[in-house]
Amino acid sequence: EPEVTQTPSHQVTQMGQEVILRCVPISNHLYFYWYRQILGQKVEFLVSFYNNEISEKSEIFDDQFSVERPDGSNFTLKIRSTKLEDSAMYFCASRLTRGSYEQYFGPGTRLTVT
């Protein structure tokens, strides 16, 4: 069964460093998402992406964040200068078509900023 994959599973970085979280969505899906879950808090929407552009972003997704689909398979989330409060689990998800509702989630990347 096709699945969303994410790498790395755990990333430790120092404050101020850039990190790139990688996701490979399900191959024929068209819509892509990043969510994050700070420990003990709700899963929060960060950004949605379709047709090579951001379709919606939350207030969390400020200028320090960017997303890219550099090729036909990868979907990346970049944090330019990490802060302690960026420590969280980051989930990638993909959705098939405009008419579909279900999002398929990857296993997540745990980002720890020290």
Partner 1 sequence: AQSVTQPDIHITVSEGASLELRCNYSYGATPYLFWYVQSPGQGLQLLLKYFSGDTLVQGIKGFEAEFKRSQSSFNLRKPSVHWSDAAEYFCAVGARYAGNNRKLIWGLGTSLAVNP
Binding footprint of partner 1 on the chain (CB under 8 A): 31, 33, 35, 41-45, 48, 50, 55-56, 91, 95, 98, 101-108
- Residue 5 or 66: the one with the smaller Cβ distance to partner 1 is 5
Structure tokens, 79: 């944090």
Q: Return the SS3 of 81.
A: coil
Q: Extract the runs of DSSP E, i.e. beta strands, from 1-114.
A: 5-7, 10-13, 19-24, 31-37, 43-50, 53-57, 65-68, 75-79, 88-95, 104-105, 109-113
Q: Give the nearer residue to partner 1 in terms of CB position, either 70 or 99.
A: 99
- Closest approach, Cβ 92 to partner 1, in A, equals 9
C-beta of 78 vs 104, nearer to partner 1: 104
